[in-house]
Amino acid sequence: NNAGITGTGTEDAPAELAGPELYEKVLATNVVGVARSTAAFLPLLVQHGRGARIVNIGSYFGEIAPGIGGLVPYVTSKHAVEGMSDGMRRTLSPQGVAVALIKPGDYESGMNSRTSASSDKSDLVGCMRDAVTHPRPQSRYYCGQVNGIPVAVLNRVLPIVPDWLRDVRGI
């Protein structure tokens, strides 16, 4: 499941410009789209049993919420995909269906044109390959970097930093 739109081209806009319509649009694609595609294939996956898997593409924004106003709906959706993936994994495990979440870093794409974004996606492809083919896939794959910091470090360290300090720094 790889659904992702930011919903806006105004990533530097203040958060108050993101109204409920934008949240509905982004959540419909990034969260409900993942739920629908999973529901469509779930009977086949359960029938297959051991070795079946669901691989969801999240974001490092699933654990951190940077202070980028126009991206708040996108960040919200990636937090939801994170929770959905955890719930699916715990619910479907007894039926032999593994669920993995891939959390890419800052990669060049149609959604991300930042000059710091990496055009080399080989580690991301490696994470996807492992999530699909490994007999016991990890629950989370952290791929790539953000501003030179590995996503695995960023997503494990920032959640333990006090909110007041993260708020001051906008991370």
Q: Which residues are catalytic?
A: 74
Which helix (H) or strand (E) segment is 52 a member of? strand 52-57
Which sign, positive or negative, has the C-alpha torsion 35, 39, 40, 41?
positive
Give the residue from 78, 72, 77, 56 showing the smallest Cα distance to 139: 56
Give the relative orientation of helices 72-92 and 33-48 as an angle to the nearest 10 degrees: 20
Please, what's the largest Cα pairwise distance for the chain? 50
Contact predicate 53/139, CB 8 Å = no
